[in-house]
């Protein structure tokens, strides 16, 4: 919604008016184009008539034609389109205060940023596809707070719980395989960091979503999963990758892609460890979903379980609701259209 036109609300001279869909004013270029076309057509018609007969004979030859009415008809057509654009922009003025109650869950999304997430068995790669899926999840949230934890060999709270989804997206966009300096994969540490990221709200309003290939290299994630269970927090897991595995390509110093190798010089192949992820979700009464290119799984988790959970009341606030006034220009446009259709560019012959 656009900002109100005029001064701030503390000013006695303010104009409390705004357009809820101000982007519709781009259609004014269509109105300008229409006006130019109708003006050209009107002049073209006049030139054709003058080529048909001399000026002093025109009134005799075409005495039933009223050029002024034809001109006004075109003016009315342009006016109808112009006022219709204003109506589409939804002018609003006058308002009332309403109390708004926001309810929702606290959701911490835990994303694996280890190098194995650069594997391309899920296009364009596992990490990039994860970021796109999390952005799609945001479209489903209505009042829920969301936070972000990145992990590899260590874990870090990238974005604390917030209802500012734009701020969350900024943190999400910053995720890369360099977000966590320590290599490896420690899912237990990631879940523990997420548990510490919640505030002192009741456990039934909390949820953790872990997105990883499950290739855990250190720590005891099942032990931490039991800790989450004791705290009443559900852990949902999404396995990304394939059981067959995929070679990992990383850029070298020259910026060229090359296959990742271990300390012995062997090419590293990352495989999906579904069993571990299933055990984690089963321990906490959560859900495990295997991600694919077409169906990532976040929407399944939200629609089938998270959206059904009891939501706590986050806050009450007063919200200013403007009155819709698009009916006024719409009515004016309709009246002008009726007038335009009643105009006939022909005089009554005596």
- Nearest CA to 118 among 231, 215, 254, 11? 215
Using alpha carbons, select from 5, 18, 8, 12 the residue that is nearest to residue 323: 18
**190-204, 276-290, 300-314: least confidently modelled range:** 300-314
159 Cα distance to chain centroid? 19
Which of 181, 176, 187, 182 is closest to 218 using CA atoms? 187
CA-based angle 263:264:267, to the nearest 5?
Answer: 90
Mean pLDDT of 253-259: 62
Question: Coil, helix or strand for 303?
Answer: helix
The band of 8, judged by pLDDT with boundaries at 50, 70 and 90, is very low
pLDDT of the residue at 265: 60
Range name among 150-154, 188-192, 218-222, 247-251 with the lowest pLDDT average? 247-251
With 60 as the cut, is the pLDDT of residue 2 above it?
no
Computed over every residue of the chain, the mean pLDDT equals: 80
Mean pLDDT of 73-90: 91
From residue 263, alpha-carbon distances to 178, 222, 250, 267 in Å are: 19, 28, 16, 10
Q: How many CA atoms lie within 13 A of 221 on its CB side?
A: 31
pTM: predicted TM-score of the whole model, two decimal places? 0.60
Domain spans, the chain:
17-96+320-342, 106-310
Distance between CA 298 and CA 309 in Å, rounded?
A: 15
pLDDT of residue 348: 45
Q: Are 134 and 110 in contact (CB under 8 A)?
A: no
Q: Which pLDDT score is estimated for 81?
A: 93
Q: Which residues contact 217 (CB under 8 A, 6 or more apart)?
A: 153, 184, 185, 186
Residue 85 has pLDDT above 80, yes or no: yes
Q: What local confidence, expressed as pLDDT, does residue 187 receive?
A: 93
Position 11 scores a pLDDT of: 42
Mean pLDDT computed over 204-211: 89
pLDDT at 14: 45
Whether residue 40 is predicted with pLDDT greater than 80 in this model: the reply is: yes
Q: What homologous superfamily is domain 106-310 in, according to CATH?
A: von Willebrand factor, type A domain (3.40.50.410)
Residue 331 has pLDDT above 70, yes or no: yes
- Work out the average pLDDT over 106-116: 91
Residues 220-238 pLDDT 10s: 899 999 999 999 899 999 9
Residue 268 carries which DSSP code? P
What is the distance between the alpha carbons of residues 191 and 155, in angstroms, rounded to a whole number? 9
Q: Are 244 and 115 in contact (CB under 8 A)?
A: no
pLDDT score of 155:
93
Whether the pLDDT of residue 277 is over 50: the answer is: yes
Closest among 276, 344, 317 to 112, alpha carbons compared? 276
């Amino acid at each position: 919604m656009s900002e109100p036109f005029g001064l701030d609300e503390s000013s006695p001279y303010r104009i409390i008016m705004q357009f809820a869909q101000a982007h519709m004013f781009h259609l004014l270029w269509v109105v300008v184009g229409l006006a130019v076309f109708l003006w050209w057509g009107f002049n073209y018609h006049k030139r054709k008539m003058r080529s048909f007969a001399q000026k002093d004979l025109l009134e005799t030859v075409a005495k039933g034609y009223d050029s002024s009415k034809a001109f006004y008809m075109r003016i009315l057509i342009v006016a109808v389109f112009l006022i219709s654009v204003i109506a589409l922009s939804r002018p609003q003025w006058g308002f009332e205060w309403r109390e708004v109650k926001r309810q929702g869950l606290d959701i911490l999304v835990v994303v694996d940023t280890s190098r194995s997430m650069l594997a391309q068995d899920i296009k364009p790669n596992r990490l990039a596809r994860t970021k796109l899926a999390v952005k799609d999840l945001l479209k489903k949230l209505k009042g829920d707070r969301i936070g972000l934890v990145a992990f590899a060999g260590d874990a870090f709270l990238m974005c604390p719980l917030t209802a500012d989804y734009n701020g969350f997206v900024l943190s999400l966009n910053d995720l890369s395989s360099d977000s966590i300096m320590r290599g490896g994969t420690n899912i237990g540490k990631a879940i523990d960091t997420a548990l510490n990221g919640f505030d002192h709200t009741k456990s039934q309003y909390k949820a953790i979503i872990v997105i990883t290939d499950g290739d855990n290299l250190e720590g005891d994630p099942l032990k931490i999963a039991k800790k989450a269970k004791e705290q009443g927090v559900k852990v949902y897991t999404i396995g990304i990758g394939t059981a067959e595995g995929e070679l990992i390509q990383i850029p070298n110093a020259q910026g060229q892609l090359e296959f990742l190798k271990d300390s012995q010089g062997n090419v590293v192949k990352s495989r999906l460890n579904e069993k571990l992820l299933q055990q984690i979700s089963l321990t906490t009464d959560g859900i495990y979903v295997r991600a694919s290119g077409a169906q990532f799984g976040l929407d399944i988790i939200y629609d089938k379980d998270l959206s059904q959970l009891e939501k706590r009341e986050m806050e009450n606030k007063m919200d200013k609701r403007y009155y819709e006034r698009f009916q006024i220009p719409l009515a004016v446009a309709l009246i002008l259209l009726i007038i335009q259709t009643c105009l006939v560019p022909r005089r009554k012959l005596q």
